[in-house]
Amino acid sequence: MWSAMLTGWVVLDFAVVVLSIACWPPILLSRKQPVSMLAWLLGVTFIPVAGPLFFLVFGLERRLPGLPRKKRLADEKLRRQLGSTEAGGEPSDSREARQRECEAGIEGALRVARRVAVHAPRSGNSIRLLDGGGEKFPALLEDIQRASDHINLEYFIFREDEFGRRLAGILEERAAAGVQVRLLLDGVGSRGLSRSFEWRLRDGGVRLEWFHPLNPFARRWSINIRNHRKLAVLDGRVGYLGGINLGDEYLGRDPEVGQWHDLAVRVEGPVVASLQRVFMEDWHFASGEVLKGRRWLPALEGEEPEGAAPGEVSAQLVNSFPSEDLVTEMHQVYFSMLAAARRQAWLMTPYFVPDEAIQIALAGRALAGVDVRLVVPERAPERLMDFASRSFYPQLLEAGARLFCFRPDATLHAKALLIDGELSLVGSANLDNRSFRINFESGLLVHDPGFAGELEGFFERKMALSSERHLKDFARRPWHRKTLEALARLAAPLF
């Protein structure tokens, strides 16, 4: 009996070792960053069973059969069908833009954005900053009710709550009036929608599609790669993007998360065509339907809707997508903006887990005397990310950066970067590896001192509700807290 039990344990131990070793080749042969690769190797080797299983679900690229590559190829094919890629280029008022770049000392960051981003910068836009769901939702609902041709919505989260039901009713009304309504939702973020609510939308004339639905038998299934964008395009003339999803919690109605503080922008002008193209590509990938024709891109035709005033703001859409490459749009733009800062670099994010390049850029600017400020939640929504974030703060404080922790009884979810009172970036991307290299994200790079002034006011309002932290505050942490933060930091490249 004892011999049989001993044999069983030996066989079990051997199987565990084999499982761990079997994970080494796909990790070593992947194109992951070295730190991420090392973290995965340590995880599958020293965390028996759980480590390899976690890798099989979240880290194994073979589990996602060419999905990022297929998405990129599908996007390129669609762009060829539409007759333009938008890659590179200058704003229409390039002479004025170049002059302003030189005056602001940020020409390098704008040049990088023009080179790495798929979508070109466009001038002549009107951009309105929206402080939270209380400002975004009334404007969005009004624009939806005014839409006469089509409504395209692409969101990570759509809640089946009071606001969600109200929005569903308005979408059904517009569909009944002959407006084409399309709704693209992420399969994980919006998994809480009931089947009855989904069919209510479909029966009401809303074309609903799922991006990477949670179906392990589906060919494009993925629990890891998600569509984190929050986009809306109405009649091809008005666009929305930022960090605000669709639900009651973004109006502060959820007592568990408290008052929700977030940020979005409403856009009119030529740059809306870039938002529309992103929706068209993602919709084509999810549904197979190709949206073609002039009706989808009227913003490029110079046709202003009745009563609209021409804008003067230069803006460029910057995206992020699954990639292990060194150069990705969002990461490169973030880094180049920070490196270009001469007077001011203010950053707001709910998740702060920077890679080495971003750490060096932030610390380097602080050491050079730039006013570097970081606004983050007192406690990040996810515990592991909270521990990892805190491990980075002391180094930045030592370099001279200032840290503001938002009130603990509310939720800070805004993502923004402000450089030298001239250059702004607002979107859906957090400052972490997931947003830069795993998820699909979108942000708007805005070169305009007027909009930058509005964003600076937003920062100041949130800093007034925050507590500034100093280096001595972190020196008092108990040893077990520092240990947890160090372990979380080691695991950070995995997420």
Spell out the per-residue pLDDT of the chain, length 495, in tens.
Answer: 556 655 655 566 667 677 777 776 776 555 455 566 667 777 777 677 777 777 766 666 544 445 566 677 777 777 777 765 454 444 545 555 544 544 456 888 999 999 999 999 999 999 999 999 999 999 999 999 999 999 999 999 999 999 999 999 999 999 999 999 999 999 999 999 999 999 999 999 999 999 988 765 555 566 778 899 999 999 999 999 999 999 999 998 888 888 999 999 999 999 999 999 999 999 999 999 999 888 898 866 554 444 445 578 999 999 998 876 666 899 999 999 999 999 999 999 999 999 889 999 999 999 999 999 999 999 877 777 888 888 889 999 999 999 999 998 899 999 999 999 999 999 999 998 889 888 999 999 999 999 999 999 999 999 999 999 999 988 887 877 877 777 777 776 665
Three-state SS string across 456-493, please? HHHHHHHHHCEEEECHHHHHCCCHHHHHHHHHHHHHHH
Report strand pairing: 313-320 vs 441-447.
antiparallel
Residues annotated as catalytic (active site), given as ranges? 228, 230, 235, 413, 415, 420
Closest CA to 207 of 174, 231, 184, 229: 184
pTM over 0.75: yes
Q: Is 428 in contact with 277 (CB distance < 8 Å)?
A: no
Ordered by start, the domain boundaries in the chain are 2-63, 67-90+124-311, 329-494
The DSSP output letter for 132 is S
- The token duo for 448 is 């305009």
Residue ranges of E strands in 238-294: 238-242, 259-261, 263-268
For residue 406, give the H/E element and its range.
Answer: strand 402-406
For 374, list phi and psi in degrees, rounded to 5. Answer: -120, 120
Q: Give the per-residue pLDDT at 2.
A: 56
- The token duo for 312 is 């003067």
Half-sphere exposure of 45 (CA within 13 A, CB side): 9
For 322, list phi and psi in degrees, rounded to 5. Answer: -60, 125
- Residue 399: count of CB within 10 angstroms of its CB: 17
67-90+124-311 folds as Endonuclease; Chain A (3.30.870)
Q: Is 236 in contact with 268 (CB distance < 8 Å)?
A: no
Q: Is 429 in contact with 391 (CB distance < 8 Å)?
A: no
Q: Give the per-residue pLDDT at 63.
A: 42
Rounded Cα distance, 185 and 230, in Å: 10
- CATH architecture group of domain 329-494: 2-Layer Sandwich (3.30)
- Residue 177: count of CB within 10 angstroms of its CB: 12
Q: Is 413 in contact with 264 (CB distance < 8 Å)?
A: no
For residue 10, give the H/E element and its range.
Answer: helix 2-28
Q: Give the per-residue pLDDT at 47.
A: 77
Rama region for 97: left / alpha / beta (φ>0; ψ in -120 to 50; rest): alpha
Q: Is 64 in contact with 224 (CB distance < 8 Å)?
A: yes
Common-topology check for domains 67-90+124-311 and 329-494: yes
Q: Which residues on neighbouring strands pair with residue 211, listed in sequence order?
A: 186
Q: Is 455 in contact with 333 (CB distance < 8 Å)?
A: no
Q: Is 277 in contact with 82 (CB distance < 8 Å)?
A: yes
Q: Which residues on neighbouring strands pair with residue 377, listed in sequence order?
A: 406
